[in-house]
Amino acid sequence: MKKNILITWTSKWIWKYLLDNLKNENNLIWISRSKSTENWFYEINIDLTNHALFNKITHYLKSSNIKLDCIIINAWVWHFWKYNLWDSKKYQEIINLNLLSPILLIKELEEYLSEKAKIIFIWSIISKKFMKYWAVYQASKFGLRWFAWALKNELKGKWVHIINPRIVETWFHDKSEIEIDFWNDKITSLESIWEVIWDILSENEKRFEIDL
């Protein structure tokens, strides 16, 4: 039986890889501000930082009598630079999308979760390290990690997981304004992220936190 999986999107490289691997065996609901060119999943186009629009998601789930078997949180924004050189709007954008939106979205979706639903955060190893130039981005990652930890203890019967890649095997950092060292032992492949998600969906992976 196909699972109902909701995915939030900002990272198109991870998103596309996951969708290509999930599409044949699951019913997919894609949440994004940008409209896609695909037609094999249900799409809801909203800005996740506009929390008032979450009712578009819940209305669809309610009207379609859908219970979610999995939520994959894959939406985030980043700015890497010296702390005192960004304006406050940049920092508000980071905290709003990376931290506040997942908290409020999951609150709205809780009643639509199936009995043994899984919540997967594709997050970052940065949530466990201290590095200069990443202050507010890193703060959002720390905050969401601890929210996920609390969530797993509150949502009885549900499975909560957080996946922490290192630098992902994409062009994500090409436009970074600070120097980042790229060594093979710091790279996380898209395939390895997918393998963990597959193991979670198959109930072979039961750890809360998986570092890649």
Inter-residue contact 117 to 158 (CB < 8 Å): yes
pLDDT score recorded for residue 38: 72
Q: Could you tell me which residue, 211 or 18, shows the higher pLDDT?
A: 211
List, in sequence order, the alpha helices (H) in the chain.
12-22, 54-63, 88-95, 101-109, 135-154, 190-201
CB 80 within 8 A of CB 20: no
pLDDT in tens, 107-161: 999 999 999 999 999 987 776 667 677 788 888 888 999 999 999 999 989 999 9
What pLDDT digit, counting tens, does each position of 60-105 carry?
A: 999 999 999 999 998 766 666 667 777 788 888 889 999 999 999 9
CATH code of 108's domain: 3.40.50.720
Structural domain including 74 reads: 3-211
Q: Are strands 42-45 and 68-73 parallel, antiparallel or unpaired?
A: unpaired
Is the pLDDT at 10 greater than 60? The verdict is: no
pLDDT at 182: 46
List the beta bridge partners of residue 68.
113
pLDDT of 160-183, one tens digit each? 999 988 776 554 555 555 455 544
Count up the domains in the chain and report the number. Answer: 1
What percent of the chain has a predicted confidence (pLDDT) above 90?
Answer: 50
pLDDT for the residue numbered 153: 94
